[in-house]
């Protein structure tokens, strides 16, 4: 069977979906994802940047779609898509074309269910048999020569999920009395002293060599957990029961009441949690 998996979304969305995507592996598996996420898909026969496919044209004007798009889609026996699930016009077009699409909601609709479990339940309806409910990205650790080091990523996809940078700096100063601290940031994130990686897989290999990762509810926190790095993740307005990274070495520090702003977390509280993990 030839199967196409279409998974839009950010880094965290992609990683949380990995067990479900891997459970759908076929004789030939192609995956279309956001360009930055391409290096994270290790199981597929081919991975393509979703933005390069021209699939948006199917809804806008199918006659203006790239000439290769429809033959490519028609070459698959199964197309499982988290793209277009909420767009009735798109669904109508692909069904009218006779394409073998199955659509799934891209975001959890059950507040009591962890996102990874939500995606697994979706694909189980197709007969998929997941091997694991924990996202894993196999990699060979590529640590810095100076070890052990702690990595801090003080950003996320939403300012409301960010613990104040000044508190991260305070935390880093305390930790530097015993450990080396490294900062990491994405291309558009304003932190001059931070390490930056163009390739997320290379970032993952570097994170895998760290003693500990500390960060907000972000895609990079999910990446750290997926490569097996002990991870401390700070939560405030978002719910860790749904969005926390998964793994035996993931530790959550959350506000005393669900939904509180990140400013409610004090440096002492986070420092104590980090030291407990480091001293194990």
Model confidence over 128-164: pLDDT tens digits?
A: 999 999 999 999 998 877 678 999 999 999 999 999 9
- Judged by average pLDDT, the poorest of 36-45, 80-89, 106-115, 220-229 is 106-115
Q: Say if residue 205 is in the same domain as residue 88.
A: no
Q: Say if residue 88 is in the same domain as residue 188.
A: no
Averaged over 13-29, what is the pLDDT?
98
Nearest C-alpha neighbor of 44 from the set 95, 7, 88? 7
Establish if 114 belongs to a structural domain.
yes
Establish if 170 belongs to a structural domain.
yes
* pTM higher than the cut 0.85: yes
Q: Say if residue 56 is in the same domain as residue 170.
A: no
Q: Say if residue 227 is in the same domain as residue 189.
A: yes
Range of the domain at 107: 2-124
Q: Say if residue 30 is in the same domain as residue 102.
A: yes
Establish if 188 belongs to a structural domain.
yes
31/20 Cα distance (integer angstroms):
12
Model confidence over 195-209: pLDDT tens digits?
A: 999 999 999 999 999
Domain count, the chain: 2
Q: Say if residue 224 is in the same domain as residue 174.
A: yes
CB 197 within 8 A of CB 203: yes
Does residue 30 carry a pLDDT above 90? yes
Model confidence over 56-98: pLDDT tens digits?
A: 999 888 888 999 999 999 999 999 999 999 999 999 999 999 9
CB 212 within 8 A of CB 151: yes
Q: Kindly calculate the radius of gyration of the chain based on its CA atoms and give it in whole angstroms.
A: 20
Q: Which of 89, 124, 159 is where one domain is finished?
A: 124
Across the chain, mean pLDDT equals 96
Residue 7: what pLDDT?
99
Percentage with pLDDT > 70 across the chain: 100
* 148: preceding bond cis by omega (within 30 degrees): yes
């Amino acid at each position: 069977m030839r199967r196409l998996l279409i998974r839009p979304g950010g880094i965290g969305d992609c990683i949380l979906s990995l067990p479900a995507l891997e459970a759908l592996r076929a004789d030939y598996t192609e995956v279309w994802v956001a360009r930055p996420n391409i290096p994270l898909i290790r199981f597929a026969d081919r991975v393509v940047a979703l933005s390069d496919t021209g699939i948006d044209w199917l809804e806008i004007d199918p006659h203006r779609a790239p000439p290769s798009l429809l033959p490519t889609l028609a070459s698959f026996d199964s197309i499982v898509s988290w793209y277009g699930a909420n767009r009735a016009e798109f669904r109508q077009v692909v069904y009218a074309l006779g394409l073998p699409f199955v659509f799934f909601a891209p975001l959890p609709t059950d507040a009591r269910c962890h996102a990874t479990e939500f995606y697994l339940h979706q694909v189980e309806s197709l007969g998929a048999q997941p091997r694991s409910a924990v996202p894993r990205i196999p990699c060979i650790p590529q640590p810095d020569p100076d070890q052990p080091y702690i990595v801090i990523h003080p950003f996320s996809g939403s300012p409301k999920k960010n613990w104040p940078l000044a508190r991260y700096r305070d935390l880093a100063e305390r930790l530097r009395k015993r450990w080396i601290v490294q900062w990491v940031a994405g291309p558009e994130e304003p932190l001059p002293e931070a390490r930056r990686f163009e390739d997320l897989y290379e970032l993952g290999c570097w994170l895998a060599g760290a003693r500990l990762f500390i960060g907000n509810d972000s895609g990079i926190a999910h990446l750290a957990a997926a490569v097996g790095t002990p991870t401390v993740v700070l939560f405030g307005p978002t719910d860790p029961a749904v969005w926390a990274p998964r793994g035996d070495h993931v530790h959550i520090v959350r506000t005393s009441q669900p939904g509180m702003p990140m400013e409610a977390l004090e440096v002492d509280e986070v420092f104590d949690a980090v030291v407990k993990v480091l001293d194990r």
